[in-house]
Amino acid sequence: MSSSEPVSEETEPMHVNAAPRKPQILLAASGSVAGIKFGNLCHCFSEWAEVRAVATTASLHFIDRASLPKDVVLYTDDDEWSSWKKIGDNVLHIELCRWADIMVIAPLSANTLGKIVGGLCDNLLTCIVRAWDYSKPLFVAPAMNTFMWNNPFTERHLMLIDELGISLVPPVTKRLACGDYGNGAMAEPSVIYSTVRLFLESKTQQGGSNIQ
């Protein structure tokens, strides 16, 4: 599906007493080699949820657009500007913020991690995060080389991620795409999917959500 599809749709906000509906999940990818798994991640979620996707410019080097489900729109930085012509037009990052019940950034690059904790917003993905309403869940699944993961900045940035209320799906230790062995590989798409789904199901059981 083309990203020129209108994003704005009137849907019930996530609250008690409204009719149950599918979750609306915004999946976002940044520029890690684990972006090769983004199509798989979109397929996992689209069995269960309404999915829209966002990709940074760097992530497009790794994402095979043909691997995405046909009904998933992929928004890029170009769409942010091409969809806005004049005052009064919708602003894409705000519309996507409104639309999403949950956001999942997988893979999360070291660069985007640093930008998020610094409050920087110079592309579609980081503008969405900068405008995010933290009463809604935001998950991140970092993916980077072991040297980057073990760098002191990572620990500092993860502390800030936690303070913001962002949920971490931790990376795993294995042979990385670059050949190095160590921690920093993105959690498997199936693990990211089940983490988010279990979270939402437990929230629904507690009566905190009308999304299934």
Ligand X SMILES: Cc1cc2nc3c(=O)[nH]c(=O)nc-3n(C[C@H](O)[C@H](O)[C@H](O)COP(=O)(O)O)c2cc1C
Active site residues per annotation? 93, 178
Examine residue 144 and tell whether it contacts ligand X (CB under 6 A).
Answer: yes
Q: How far is the CB of 84 from ligand X (least distance, A)?
A: 20
Q: Nearest-5° angle of CA 64, CA 69, CA 74?
A: 65
Nearest distance, CB of residue 11 and ligand X, angstroms: 29
Task: Tell me the closest approach of the beta carbon of residue 125 to ligand X, in angstroms.
Answer: 7
Spatial separation of the C-alpha atoms in residues 70 and 107, rounded to whole Å: 21
User: Which residues partner with 140 through β-bridges?
Assistant: 105, 168
**For 152-158, which contacts have Cβ atoms below 8 Å and span 24 or more sequence positions?**
153/110, 153/114, 154/110, 154/113, 156/117, 157/113, 157/114, 157/117, 158/113
Q: Residue 112 interacts with ligand X (CB under 6 A)? A: yes
Q: Taking CB under 6 A as the rule, does residue 33 contact ligand X?
A: yes
- Smallest separation, CB 35 to ligand X (Å): 8
By CB under 6 A, residue 76 contacts ligand X: no
Q: Does 31 bind ligand X (CB under 6 A)?
A: yes
Among 14, 44, 102, 110, binds ligand X (CB under 6 A): 110
- Which tokens sit at 1? 């599906």
- Work out whether 30 is an interface residue with ligand X (CB under 6 A): yes
Nearest Cα residue to 195 out of 8, 41, 18: 41
> Which residues would be at the binding site for ligand X (CB under 6 A)?
30-34, 56, 58-59, 109-112, 143-144, 148
